[in-house]
Each structure stands twice: as C-alpha cells, then as structure tokens.
Chain A
Amino acid sequence: MLLFIEQILNGLQLGITLFLMSAGLTLIFGIMRIINLAHGSFYMIGAYVAATVASYSGSFLLGLLAALPAAALTGMLVEMIVFRKLYQRDHLDQVLATFGLILFFNELTRIIWGRQPLFMDVPSWLSGTVELIPGAPYPAYRLAIIVVGIIVALSLYLLFTRTRLGMQIRAGAANREMIAALGVNIKLLNTLVFGLGTLLAGLAGVMAGPILAVEAGMGESILIMTFVVIVIGGIGSIRGAMIAALLVGLVDTLGRFLLPELLRLFLPAATADGAGISLASMSVYILMAAILIWRPRGLFPVQG
C-alpha cells in the first residue's frame, strides 16, 4: 500500500513535467495551428543554459533565471525567422521544417558544448528526502517539481481567465481572422505566445536537468509523450493538457509497476515480466487510442 502511494506520487511528478512541456506546445498549436516538432529543442536549450550557468556560478536559481529568458528569446527569434514563413503552408511543410530545426539545434549544442553530457546537480537545499508518508522517503526535489507545476498551472489559469492578453490569446485560438480584423496585432501576439510556450519548455528542461542526463537530443525522448498528452487533452486546451498530462503520467508509472505484477498471477515470472514491460510501454498509446475512439477531438476540445 505504501509502495502504491509512492508510485502515485511518482506518476504525478512525471505528469507535471509532461504538463510543463505540453502546455507550451498546445498553446502554440492552438493559436497558430502549427505543428512544432522542435519544441523539445527548447527544453534542451533550457537544460543546457541552466547547467552551464549553474556550474559557473554554483547557484541553481541563477541557472534557472538565465535559462528561462534564453529559451523564450530563442523561441521568439525562431518564430520571427522561421515560423512566420510557415503559417500559410500545409502541415507537411511545417513538420519537415521543424524536424530540420531539431537537427540544427542538436548539432549546435554539440558544436558549442561538445559531445560530453553536462553535469547538473540538485540544489543543496533540495537534496535529501522528505518522509511525506512515514516509511516512504521521497526525494525533495521531485516534490519541488510538483509544486512548481501547480504554480505554473495556477498562473496560466489566471493569465487566461483574468487578463486582457489571455482573452486575446483565447480569441486568437477561436478565430484568428476575426481578432485581427478587430485590430489586435496578431503578429506580435503570435511571437508572444510562442515565447511563452518555449519559456515553459525551457522551465521543464531546467527542472529535468538535475534528474536526467543533459545531452544533445534529450528533447526527443520527451517530445513523443508530449504529443500524446496534447492529443488526449484536446489540441489547444491548457486544461486538457493538465488533465491529460496527469493521466498519462499515472498510467505510464503505474503500468510499469503494476502490469508485470498483474501478469505474474497467471503467467510464469520471466514471461510475465517480458510481456508486462512491453504492455507498459504501449499503455499510454492504448489510452490515447481508447480516448480518441470515445472523444475523437480529445477530452476538452477547443471550440472553433
């Protein structure tokens, strides 16, 4: 039982990381109707900049403070140089161009930082474990990720429901031409939204840095899961992204933990483990397929 609760925490934490990534991606897709495969590259940029600054200054917070604008500014620059040319093209062109961006950014990090993975440590005030439930010590840093994710979710909620900018973004998602006709500078709005999206990806990268290997190509491993999340949640919906991210995080973690155990009840151990692990890696895709059959446009489809 203790183990089960701990695994639920693990699932939540994975879900939160996925939410940070998918919030940005779903925003960009929702507003600009553009498929951005290079979203993982901004995650990588966030992690690389944070790791570099943190190792020179010795401070995780300085790393965080440097990485967020770095990811956002790179994002806005890329939007102005590359994406503006892609809005009118079809999705295949966008996929090709943004796939090219992935290769470009991976090679660029290799040129700047070399092939060697970078070192990034948990800040000393977050190392160690917390006994949230007696008997199950949980890494403090993972709890911090959950807290950061909740703060981001709340801020996004306030931004979208309580501010003028949020209203314009929602209107842009619903009807692009109409809000342009009403005199909102849609170009600027696009750049801002793109910057916000990449900032969130950068934040996810910084938070992942101390847990994962900071290396070229690290963005691709999380990108696929991120796409699963936004498809399940309904493309363009932040609320959908939040729910779907938690769902995917829980299903993936609990699947890895429970499926082999479950199969062991009626299969020999070796076969059960093999089948269990294969099933577990499929579980989120099975979930996606099931939800798409039930609700073809995702859990919270955006009207438009």
Chain B
Amino acid sequence: MKKKIVSIVSGFLLAVSGTVFAEPLKIGMVTTLSTKAGYLGEDIRDGFKLAIEQGGGKLGGVPVELMVDDDGRKPGKGKQIADRYMKRDKVKIMTGIVFSNVAMAVVPKVVRNDVVYISPNAGPSALAGKGCHENYFNVAWQNDNLSEAAGKHVAEQGFKNVYMLAPNYPAGKDAISGFKRFYKGKIAGEVYTKLGQSDYAAELAALRAAKPDAVLFFLPGGMGINFIKQYAQAGLNKQIPLFGPAFSFDERILKAVGDAAVGVVNGSQWTHDLDNDANKAFVASFKKVYGRTPTLYASQGFDAANLIGSAIEAVNGDLSDIGAFRDAIRKAEFDSVRGAFRFGRNQHPVQDLYVREVIKTADGNTTNKTLKKVSENHVDAYVSQCKM
C-alpha cells in the first residue's frame, strides 16, 4: 500500500516537472468552422493537424500545442480570438484565417504586436502591396493568382470573346481584374451578381444571348455549386466552355455538383495528382486519416504547418528572437506539396500555377486532373507596391 502511494506521488511529481520543462510551443489558429464555408476551415485545420501528427505531436522536433477557434466568418469575432491568443496565451505564431475580410481585420494588428502570422488561405491585395509587413507571410497565394492562371489559359487557348461573372464584393472584383491581367481580348459581358445569390436563371439567359465563346467565372462555395448545376441544366455546358479559379472546384464541391462540372478547366497552384514525393505521401496519409481526398485548402494547411516546423527547427524552438525566426521562415526550407516554392520580396509565394480539368473517374466519381503548367515561378502583381 505504502509503496503504491509512493509510486503515485512520484508519478505525479514526474508529470508536473515534465510539463514544466517541456511546455509545448503554442500556435494560435483563427479559422472558419461554422457557416456554409465551414468546410474550408475544417480542411485547413485537418491538414495542419496531420503535419503535427506525423511529427508525433511535434513540429521541427519541438512539441507544439495547436489552439483552434472558430471566427464564424466574422471579422469582429476573429479579432477577439486573436486578442485572447496574444494576451492570455502569449502566442507568438498565428495562422488559419480563411476569408480576406477577416484577415484585414486581424492581421495588421497581430503583426504589429510581434506575432508572426502565416496565412494558409486569404491573400488580399492590400497585404501583398502597400500593407505588406515583415511578420506577415502567405503560404497559399495572393487572391488574384488562381484567376490569373484561368485567364492566362483562356487567352492561350485562343478564345476571343469572353463573358465574365463574379459576385459584387472586393474578392469578386479582384478575380475579374485577375482574369483581365492576362486575357486582353474582347469582353462579351462583365457581370457582377449579388453576393450569396442562389438563382442564376436571369444571368444565364443574358449570357446565352451574348453568344460568348468562353465563360470565366468566380463564384466561391455554394454560389458556385448553384451556378454550375444551373449552367448544365440550361444545356450551356455543351455549347460554351467554362473556366475559373479552383475555388469553385475543390474536391468537396465536386461531390455536390456531380456530372455538371465535368470538362470544366480551372486554375490552381496544387492538385492531389501533382507528381512529387511530398505530395504523394501527403495525399495517401490524408486519405488514410480522414477518409476523403484532400482539397487545396488542406494542402495549404499542411504546407503552413511544415513551413512553421522548418523555422522552429532552425531556431531550436527558441522564439525569443523573433527576427531570427522570421529569417528562418523566409528561407522556406520545407518540402511543399506543390513542388518548388519560395517567398518573393513581399513574402508571398513565387510558385508554378496549373490548370486542371474536372474528369469522371472509372468508379463514377468526379475529380480534378492536372492538365498543364500555365505559369512558372509566378509572382503576384502587387509586389512592386510593397516597401520592405
């Protein structure tokens, strides 16, 4: 009996001292888990967690604790969470934000407070250009990039009369300007729809009447599902080819759209079939752990975690010198699942962009297949405005 008590007590002491000496490094993730767009945050989180699990609870050899909270797609809520991470948890590394409007509310404040923020998704132009900051890194893309890839492909394919469609809000306008940066031909129509619109019958009738030879569109999430289904039901998918950024064609949206999306060509920086070792291992392991094909959001979460891990390893888990940590991140010495990756001067990715086609597999599912590379070492359009 006595022996037992002694062992319990000593076990307890060990446990206590253990936590004192190996306090895990805290990483704060602000992301969107509720609302219709909740699956984006879910994939970013799951991709990030996968990297931690593969390291046995460690990133770069240092134990980490990932704190996740849901911003509900609201800038105010995102700010509150970030404040709490900074004040209560003394977090030095933050990541996770999905939407640009949330990022604009949170990022400028946290980077001023010596927190390093790694964006796994949102890449608003303001933060790539005039508002760039030494503590802000984007490991995904600048918002325009995937639209630029789609626009460039359409121009290269020789389409001469293109119809463009996007929701009437800042990211929608960014997407259209991204299309136009590379497509210089005639514009059959440039239409902005209501954000959150579900019925596109009026737009589709006008589109048919305008007789374009291709359609470039950006409608993220549920809006894209609605549009693609209705486009196919109107019989337009057999007449006028559809192009856009990958946001309307991730693996989870394709499940909800089915055959209606087959044949659509879309621009992306990553696809699950990209041929490199890091990617093959990531896709196999993600499927095994979560039982679904990863989306580009999951790949971005995974890359964000490995980027952070590479920098933690370089400074041996010591974040007291934030400058050294920042330098280590800037080197980007990690195996990105998209292949070649480095940071440009404004700390946004310089990367290859691809177009991919939605195909039907032998077992009846729809998925993306990489068609070709449209841009090598693509640099975003705002880097010249960044004074850093």
**What is the interface of chain A, defined by CB distance below 8 A to chain B?**
2-3, 6-7, 10-11, 13-14, 110, 115-119, 121-122, 127-129, 136-137, 139, 141-142, 210-218, 221-222, 253-254, 256-257, 273-274, 277-278, 280-281
Contact = CB atoms under 8 A, between A and B. Distances in A.
Contact of A221 (B42, B168, B196): B196
A257 B233 contact: no
Contacts of B192: 273-274, 277
Contacts of B222: 117, 212-213, 215, 218
Interface of B: 35-36, 38-39, 42, 168, 190-194, 196, 198-199, 201-203, 205-206, 209, 221-223, 225-226, 229-230, 233-235, 252-253, 255-259
Contacts of B36: 117, 213, 215-218
B205 A211 contact: no
Contacts of A213: 36, 198, 221-223, 225-226, 256
18 contacts: A6-B205, A7-B206, A10-B202, A11-B202, A115-B38, A115-B39, A117-B256, A119-B255, A119-B256, A129-B233, A139-B234, A142-B201, A211-B229, A218-B36, A218-B222, A256-B194, A273-B191, A274-B168
B332 to A, nearest CB: 31
Contacts of A119: 255-258
Contacts of A278: 168
B235 A137 contact: yes
Contact of B225 (A117, A221, A256, A277): A117
B199 A3 contact: no
B256 A212 contact: no
B376 to A, nearest CB: 33
Contacts of A210: 229, 233
Given A129-B234, A273-B192, A3 B35 contact: no
Contacts of B223: 213
A286 B255 CA distance: 39
A129 B235 contact: yes
A212 B168 contact: no
Contacts of B252: 116-117
A102 B273 CA distance: 40
Contact of B198 (A116, A122, A129, A221): A221
A273 B192 CA distance: 8
Nearest to B194: A281
Contact of B233 (A3, A141, A216, A253): A141
A156 to B, nearest CB: 23
Contacts of A218: 36, 198, 222
